[in-house]
A and B are shown apart, each in its own frame.
Chain A
């Protein structure tokens, strides 16, 4: 069974640009969560999607958005990039949205903003 796949793995952008990151969950998983990981703040929750609906949202500005498609694949978008958006963006999938569920993470997309 293939794991969680994130693309691209690395990217460099400049301030003011926008970026779209993609995540393909484990086959059969309908829940996708996104996290931002930085050395200073650790892993911070961005949002969670289940069956194409955003179920939970973290404390991030509106520049951060996401969506989920009918095949459970998900994308997140960051507009008007700032230097502080440089981070590892991790996607995780699960077979359910609530209760005790293990998140399986992808390897992440490392974004550098210059």
Chain B
């Protein structure tokens, strides 16, 4: 969901679980989407991307699903590890620049 003010949506999982992070995007003309991971004190790091002519793309332990009908994007992380703890951002690219969502914090307990 959307974050308000200082409060990010938070997903808490146990190590080894699968995690699903959701994102609603706003521009139906967006044709490219990226997921970034940001750890404390670091800049955002690229995870996986997908073009609008696809509805699924898989990487190593991660899968991105795109539903253009409802303008929804999700990131699935398999066998979540403590090192996956971070804030995850989705970003959409429409006419020119990347627009970022507010982010979701993923907390992984050992």
**Number of residues from A at the complex interface, CB < 8 A:** 25
Number of A-B contacts (CB under 8 A): 53
Asked if B44 and A90 sit within 8 Å, CB to CB, the answer is: yes
Asked if A43 and B49 sit within 8 Å, CB to CB, the answer is: no
Chain B interface category by residue count: 20 to 34
Interface membership of chain A positions 38-57, coded 1 if the CB is closer than 8 angstroms to chain B and 0 otherwise: 01101111001000000110
Q: How far is the CA of A58 from the CA of B93 in the complex (A)?
A: 14
Of B3, B32, B97, the residue contacting A100 (CB under 8 A) is B32
Asked if B46 and A104 sit within 8 Å, CB to CB, the answer is: yes
Residues on B with beta carbons closer than 8 Å to the beta carbon of A90: 43-44
User: Chain B: which residue is nearest A55 at the CB level?
Assistant: B96
Asked if B44 and A48 sit within 8 Å, CB to CB, the answer is: no
Asked if B34 and A102 sit within 8 Å, CB to CB, the answer is: yes
- Chain B residues near A (Cβ < 8 Å): 3, 5-6, 31-32, 34, 36, 41-46, 49, 51, 89, 93, 96-103
